């Protein structure tokens, strides 16, 4: 009986997790944390500001307050907590874009996981009728939310990556698929002798230029270039970095990206992938669950041996897997001899 009870408690917590995600999504989409920046407000006031149903909104906020996302006082007013402060649009490490992304398109795609398992067809494509990146490219507003979410997601691991790897030994870095430039800006800020190129799709590059403060205090060391990494990448850099890029693709597409890096490299250049490396057997890993999300969009997380084979197919030699103080590792490669 004790085992059955603990099993019931476990599944109750697990199933409730998806409900919390949806509640956070509602609050993120409506900008509730922004509206609470100046102090506590009632659900009625918030409903008027967001053009929503007062009782329904109250019940969502009450539930979120029960898990610490908001605070609820004796007068039924809601206020920010450290958790909801991170849902403010301009908050430090804002999680609002990630909350929107996880609760909207991705939540719907998760509902197609069984179809994905039965057929091999990506759940996202089944739900929305087109591949993930095609869907995003045709919807610039949603793509910008995705870029911001990935920037915040990556920022939590950026310092760990910079602590684990000495980029000061190089002079030029290309951040391939670098999105809004969060990682590259942090790298250049730490290493004042390094110059960097942020390389991504033209529309993404345009958004990065528009969002970046003038020069970002980097004295002209950061340039932004638009292009398609399936065609080519900027040549001649010392280091080509890809943070959560290769995991977006199956092996044939990933090999194409890596081979284009190979073509652009010079003797002594490095390719660095910032990815979660799947551990063996039943070792617990966040990456094993992230891999299921990638399954939905036709990507995949990989083991060290799978990365070794992928590098070899692209003409590269895997020279090391460097752990960091976060979930990700740095997978290093050079041109094979």
Query: Which of the four pLDDT bands, split at 50, 70 and 90, describes residue 1?
Result: very low
CATH number at residue 59: 1.10.10.10
The answer to whether 152 touches 91, Cβ cutoff 8 Å, is no
What would the mean pLDDT of 243-271 be, rounded to a whole number? Answer: 97
Tell me which residue range forms the domain holding 300.
Answer: 147-335
- Are residues 314 and 208 part of one domain? yes
- Are residues 61 and 156 part of one domain? no
pLDDT of 215 higher than 50: no
Q: Does residue 311 sit within a domain?
A: yes
- Are residues 168 and 54 part of one domain? no
Across-strand partners of 274? 243, 330
Burial of 315 (0-12, 13-18, 19+ CB in 10 A): middle
Backbone angles phi, psi at 288, to 5 degrees: -70, -30
- Are residues 64 and 192 part of one domain? no
pLDDT tens digit sequence for 38-51 = 999 999 999 999 99
- Are residues 308 and 176 part of one domain? yes
pLDDT score for 145: 85
Query: Which of the four pLDDT bands, split at 50, 70 and 90, describes residue 214?
Result: very low
- Are residues 235 and 314 part of one domain? yes
> Is 247 marked active-site?
yes
The answer to whether 124 touches 101, Cβ cutoff 8 Å, is no
pTM for this model (two decimals)? 0.87
Q: Does residue 131 sit within a domain?
A: no
Q: Does residue 218 sit within a domain?
A: yes
- Are residues 218 and 299 part of one domain? yes
The number of distinct structural domains making up the chain is 2
- Are residues 155 and 260 part of one domain? yes
The answer to whether 100 touches 149, Cβ cutoff 8 Å, is yes
Last residue of a domain, one of 46, 69, 87: 87
* For helices 251-264 and 304-313, angle between their N-to-C axes, nearest 10 degrees: 60
pLDDT tens digit sequence for 106-142 = 999 999 999 999 999 999 999 999 999 999 989 988 8
Last residue of a domain, one of 39, 67, 87: 87
CA distances from 122 to 65, 68, 110, 150, 279 (A): 35, 34, 10, 20, 24
Q: Does residue 129 sit within a domain?
A: no
- Are residues 155 and 78 part of one domain? no
Q: Does residue 104 sit within a domain?
A: no
Q: Does residue 162 sit within a domain?
A: yes
Q: Does residue 96 sit within a domain?
A: no
Structure tokens at 168: 């000061």
pLDDT of 216 higher than 60: no
Last residue of a domain, one of 36, 68, 87: 87
pLDDT score for 180: 84
pLDDT of 92 higher than 80: no
What would the mean pLDDT of 215-226 be, rounded to a whole number? Answer: 81
Structure tokens at 227: 């292009």
- Are residues 202 and 286 part of one domain? yes
pLDDT tens digit sequence for 182-213 = 899 999 999 999 999 999 999 889 988 887 65
Q: Does residue 122 sit within a domain?
A: no
51, 53, 115, 247: the active-site residue: 247
- Are residues 175 and 244 part of one domain? yes
- Are residues 151 and 83 part of one domain? no
Four-residue CA torsion sign, 312, 316, 322, 324: negative
């Amino acid at each position: 009986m004790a085992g059955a009870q603990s099993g019931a408690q476990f599944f109750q917590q697990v199933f409730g997790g998806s409900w919390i995600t949806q509640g956070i999504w509602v609050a993120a989409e409506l900008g509730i944390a922004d509206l609470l920046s100046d102090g506590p407000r009632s659900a009625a006031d918030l409903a008027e500001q967001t053009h929503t149903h007062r009782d329904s909104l109250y019940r969502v906020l009450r539930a979120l307050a029960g898990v610490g996302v908001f605070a609820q006082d004796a007068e039924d007013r809601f206020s920010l907590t450290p958790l909801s402060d991170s849902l403010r649009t301009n908050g430090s490490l804002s999680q609002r874009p990630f909350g929107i992304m996880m609760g909207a398109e991705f939540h719907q795609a998760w509902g197609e996981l069984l179809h994905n398992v039965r057929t091999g067809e990506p759940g996202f494509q089944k739900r929305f009728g087109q591949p993930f990146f095609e869907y995003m490219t045709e919807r610039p507003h949603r793509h910008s939310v995705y870029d911001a979410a990935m920037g915040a997601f990556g920022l939590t691991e950026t310092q760990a990556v910079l602590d684990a790897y000495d980029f000061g030994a190089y002079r030029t870095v290309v951040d391939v698929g670098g999105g809004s430039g969060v990682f590259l800006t942090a790298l250049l800020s730490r290493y004042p002798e390094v110059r960097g190129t942020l390389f991504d799709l033209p529309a993404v590059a345009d958004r990065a230029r528009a969002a970046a403060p003038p020069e970002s205090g980097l004295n002209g060391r950061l340039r932004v270039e638009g292009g398609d990494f399936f065609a080519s990448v900027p040549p001649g850099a010392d280091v080509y970095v890809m943070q959560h890029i290769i995991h977006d693709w199956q092996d044939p597409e990933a090999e194409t990206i890596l081979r284009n890096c190979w073509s652009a490299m010079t003797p002594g250049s490095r390719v660095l992938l910032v990815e979660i490396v799947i551990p063996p057997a039943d070792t617990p890993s966040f990456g094993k669950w992230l891999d299921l999300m990638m399954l939905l969009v036709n990507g995949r997380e990989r083991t060290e041996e799978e990365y070794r084979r992928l590098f070899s197919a692209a003409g590269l030699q895997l020279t090391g897997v460097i752990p960091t103080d976060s979930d990700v590792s740095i997978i290093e490669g050079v041109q094979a001899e």
